[in-house]
Structure 1
Amino acid sequence: MDDKKESAGAICISQKDIRTEELSFEEILLDERLVQGDIWVWEKALCSVGGINYRLMAKQNYELLIRIAREYKVLLMNQADGMEFLREENAGGKLWINLQTDSLVGASLEGGEDGLIEEGLKADCYLVSRYRSELADMGCFQDAALGILSASARKEDAMRYLEGMVAGNEEFYDIYDCTQPILIYTGCDLCYNILDTFSAELGFALEELGQKVEYFDLTRQSPEELIPYAKRRFKAVIGMQTNMFGVKWKTGTLIHDDIPAPKYNFLFDHPIWLRDYLEKKPRQLCALTPDGNYAKFIEEYFDHPARFLPPAGEHISCGEKQRDYEVVFLGSYGEGLVEHLKLIRNADKERGRLLNWYVLYMRQHLEETPEQAFKKALAHYGVTYTKKELIELFYRERWIITELANHYRNKVIRRLLDAGIRVHVFGDTWKDCSMWEHPALIHHPAVFGRDALEIYARAKISLNVMRWHKDGFTERIANTMLQKSVVVTDRTSYLDKNFVDGEDIILFDLDNLKGLPDRIRDLLVHEDKRKMIAEHGYQKAQRHTWRDRAAQILEMIEEDRIG
């Protein structure tokens, strides 16, 4: 027997003095009166069957219990037995959730009072349609359909509605998809497995919110194995900077065009680096970015829906006594601009002049985005372009963004080291840097995925230097704050609007690093001040957990499925 069927997934507590009995799927489907009263569901069962169908305006509990009954036991109990059962389950570590009483509301099918049909009858139409095969096998389909029609005051309207549902119209699948799995792509080892960590944390948070989650692991499954998924229904499809949304059929059309669900791809780098991803967009795909400017760029230059939704963090408990790292930096090392620019100047003088002007302008106007600076460089040299030509030119010089960020990253760390502040770095990339022999640079082995949280939890201060996110927020900031370490980072317009320098975060300007070592030294000396800022940051970061992001994504799904 299925292991799930050995476990109770829901109980219905009756006020009557009855003996405990198991209610079958068939019994519940045929008689909703059996599952009245105080209803409790096991959290794992709720998630396993896809959660509450909040697209139904009535009979949500009843519809949920039908789904649970197909996979788990549903028990009918009296008050005393029910309370004893819950005490034993809770003592065993199982979390049970008490469902609110179902409510019935009226709604119009035709837009006016004459077409009124109760939401309860609409829910019945959906259930009869969803389980029409099972009802037919029991010889009850016709009776169930006639029962709906006889209960309606507007039989013609009810008939049209029922026929549409049975035929599998858009409204049927809109309701049906609400309890289908959310598919998440995993299997990316970039950036010390951070993208897979994001996928796992988001998936877990969605499950905590009662959603069913399914994973497609690219380390174990080939893109060809995606083909059967086009025949299935999903509530949504989510990727972390994945190229899977560009996978095509042999005919050249996109496979995801045949998966009728809202789709979201978190993109963490500047969009110009992800040109190929953005040019292959299936229907209903929205890019989610850590920078508001990135979202604007994607919509303007790629005609692609985009939203600002940065990655988040999670909290692990850590005592103050464990903070044995003064300042940590969990980024990798990268060379700056000088050598690359020399090669270009020697090979192509005209291009070299353009890039020199571009870089100089970016350094003099650090608040501007790379695309703003690049367009001004082109205008300075009289270069005209179409939107498509601009993307091609900008894509060619995309490396400038990364290497200029590396330049300032190295500059900030060098300033701290030379001031005698010990900085802990992680990973082999630092072995190649000019600061390797500096006595204040403390090197550690690389950390992967969630292990970074342990480092933040041991740190008094965590240094962050943005990858040129001028209106951005990163998981480093969220994770640092959630481990009650102080974030020290260059400012962005988003941080200026949502945090307070010196109160819950320490912000600095890339073109004015002179006072930064003293501010950090002050925090290391004055423990009370550091702890106060860390606590304020921790409280502010409660809005930046993966559970919070999961809730935001569920709201997006509802907006996008209506659209």
Structure 2
Amino acid sequence: MKKILKQTPSGGISFFDLLLDETLCTGEIAVEKKLIIQAGGINSYLRAKQKYELFLRIAATWNIDFFETTEADSSYITLEDDPAFTAETGWQTDCYIAGKYSQLLRENNLFDLVIESLLNDANLENRQEDTLHFLEHMIAHDDIYWHIAEGSCPILIYKGDDICHNVLNIFAEQFGKALKHTGKKVVYFDCGKEDLNTLTSYVDQHFQAIIGVQSYLFSIKMKDELHYLHEYIYGPKYNFIFDHPIWMKSHLMHHYPDFSVLTHDANYVSFVQKYFHTDAILFPPAGIVPPVDVDIAHPHYGVTFVGTYGDYMQEVFLIHQLERPKRFLANKFLLKMRQHPHMTSENALHEVLSDQGLDVSDEEFVTIFYDLRRVIYCVMHYYRYHVLRTLLDNGIQLDVFGDSWYHCPLRHYKNLICHPNVTVEESLSIWQHSKISLNIMSWHKGGFTERMANIMLCGAVLATDDTTYLHKDYSSDDLIIFSLDHPEALARQIQHLLTDETARQAMAQNGKDKTLTLHTWSKRAEQFLEILQERI
């Protein structure tokens, strides 16, 4: 038999029953997961009595009772008593509870009784001054109180940007789903469907975290044009960005004290910290574990590439439209990256400026970099074209997906098989049915992307250009890592694996196993909650 907590139509154990006798909820107790989520989840910001405080929150909202049953299944979570509980830590939770429910206690003439009990215990344990000081903060509901209380507030996620074939919305949904699975309450604001004016309804509300996915919402100002809206929406704020931070320049100029950037590239962490004076955390997106496909034992494709063709010459044309001084620097910038494909774009630009004898401030550098930012796309398209052409010249059949390929200069190759645009879900199926799939970074020299994770989770061998991030967790036994300036070596590796199915399957399995451990959204949710916990 198992003891479970369930909602009841009426009667049962009241909030005040639990408040005055916490032994009612001692021992292992199973609770419906959806009830835990609705109540805000376990508040891990409390040092002790987390289960007890959760049950009080549930009892404050719903009628509940405890039952003996054998029915507890996977929809229930079993909670145990806190083994670390001591009087030294437990009294702080008691003070927090008294502060949280102070108004309710007053309305029921219990406030003085509870406070007197807390102070009597403090006297017995010789901590009167500490208790009184902490209790004052809890009753005042000041910043110290909310630093704890936000641990049971919802997590707010912004979604609604449908660029990149809806990839950003998929990130928001997958991340939110994984956080919910941990027992957190997650709410969404969809800026693609909801009036932005309704965002003001969150003013003066507290959240455990506010997460934007490459979002511009953190830049919205109040009518006075001096203050930002998010100065009045409380909780730690995180903008999850996936391009070079220079593209987000206008959205990274604000300086909230509780704002951080999550980014997939270690170099971007340093860039944000140095040039935008903002906290940044290395936090790459994860992959989606695909549904089981019974037909994946017989791949339909040899080598695939799911992504757009970018026109290098069109980007060169746009660069030539710049003013003469900028055009001169842009050409030098592009040449530097073409000659040094392992160099980050910011380092390449620094060398160009140094070569020209230009000594600029950090602020001036950011302005110049922003004006020349399209050069990054230009060099990416240049190398994407040359890598693919080398594979085609070596007789490797490439199945490419995206309407842009129908009109690219490589179209005349008979071994280039073009397919229409695909959704994220369709991409997963393609990778499940691929032997090898190609990834060419958008010049992320220290990063890891969802495409890389998805390819490996789907059971294909990932072939990607080198980034420093990979060497931390992966080896040449797990995936193909190639240099942009040596695509002929990539062609040889692909040809070898296409003729050695045993070696290919072993590499694919190695990559999949490591990625299942390191790069699922469940893992990211766990890591994100650790980030939040470190704030306490």
Q: Same fold (TM over 0.5)?
A: yes
Give the equivalent residue in structure 2 for 1:97. Answer: 77
Cα distance, 1:349 vs structure 2: 5.4
Note the 1:224-373 alignment, pairs <5 A.
Answer: 224-252=197-225, 253-316=227-290, 317-319=292-294, 320-336=296-312, 338-341=313-316, 350-373=325-348
Contact 1:325 1:458 in 2 (8 A): yes
The residue matched to 2:242 in structure 1 has which SS? coil
Cα distance, 1:359 vs structure 2: 2.0
Query: TM-score if structure 2 supplies the norm length?
Result: 0.92
Give the equivalent residue in structure 2 for 1:217. Answer: 190
Count of equivalent residues: 525
Cα distance, 1:531 vs structure 2: 0.7
Residue 520 (structure 1) aligned with residue 494 (structure 2)? yes
Cα distance, 1:511 vs structure 2: 0.7
C-alpha separation between the residues in 1 aligned to 2:322 and 2:276?
31
C-alpha separation between the residues in 2 aligned to 1:70 and 1:488?
54
Give the equivalent residue in structure 2 for 1:124. Answer: 94
- Structure 2 residues not aligned, in runs of 5+: none
C-alpha separation between the residues in 2 aligned to 1:491 and 1:478?
15
Change (3 A) 1:419 1:37: same
Give the equivalent residue in structure 1 for 2:17. Answer: 27
Residue 424 (structure 1) aligned with residue 399 (structure 2)? yes
Give the equivalent residue in structure 2 for 1:394. Answer: 369
The residue matched to 2:410 in structure 1 has which SS? coil
Amino acid at match of 1:53: N
Give the equivalent residue in structure 2 for 1:444. Answer: 419
Cα distance, 1:132 vs structure 2: 1.9
C-alpha separation between the residues in 2 aligned to 1:356 and 1:557?
44
Contact 1:345 1:351 in 2 (8 A): no
C-alpha separation between the residues in 1 aligned to 2:481 and 2:320?
36
Percent of aligned pairs with the same amino acid:
38
Change (3 A) 1:9 1:46: farther
Amino acid at match of 1:254: Y
C-alpha separation between the residues in 1 aligned to 2:199 and 2:288?
31
C-alpha separation between the residues in 2 aligned to 1:22 and 1:172?
30
Cα distance, 1:233 vs structure 2: 0.7
Cα distance, 1:58 vs structure 2: 2.3
Change (3 A) 1:119 1:556: same
Contact 1:491 1:507 in 2 (8 A): yes
Amino acid at match of 1:538: K
Contact 1:265 1:286 in 2 (8 A): yes
Of residues 509-518 and 481-490 in structure 1, the stretch that sits farther from structure 2 once superposed is 509-518
Picking from 522, 527, 550, the partner of 2:525 is 550
C-alpha separation between the residues in 2 aligned to 1:59 and 1:370?
50
Per-residue displacement from partner, 1:156-212 (whole Å, max 9, x unpaired)?
543333232111133321221101011100101010000000001110111111111
Amino acid at match of 2:248: L
The residue matched to 2:375 in structure 1 has which SS? helix
C-alpha separation between the residues in 2 aligned to 1:76 and 1:343?
69
Change (3 A) 1:482 1:347: closer
C-alpha separation between the residues in 2 aligned to 1:314 and 1:347?
41
Per-residue displacement from partner, 1:447-480 (whole Å, max 9, x unpaired)?
2233322222121111000111111111111111
Change (3 A) 1:350 1:169: closer
C-alpha separation between the residues in 2 aligned to 1:150 and 1:354?
73
Per-residue displacement from partner, 1:301-357 (whole Å, max 9, x unpaired)?
111211211111121233432521211211111111x45446755875554443333
Change (3 A) 1:477 1:58: same
C-alpha separation between the residues in 2 aligned to 1:402 and 1:356?
13
Cα distance, 1:486 vs structure 2: 0.4
Cα distance, 1:73 vs structure 2: 4.9
- Structure 1 residues not aligned, in runs of 5+: 1-7, 13-19, 107-116
Contact 2:315 2:378 in 1 (8 A): no
Contact 1:59 1:103 in 2 (8 A): no
Residue 435 (structure 1) aligned with residue 442 (structure 2)? no
C-alpha separation between the residues in 2 aligned to 1:478 and 1:344?
33
Contact 1:504 1:533 in 2 (8 A): yes
C-alpha separation between the residues in 2 aligned to 1:49 and 1:419?
60
Contact 1:245 1:282 in 2 (8 A): no
The residue matched to 2:112 in structure 1 has which SS? helix
Query: TM-score if structure 1 supplies the norm length?
Result: 0.88
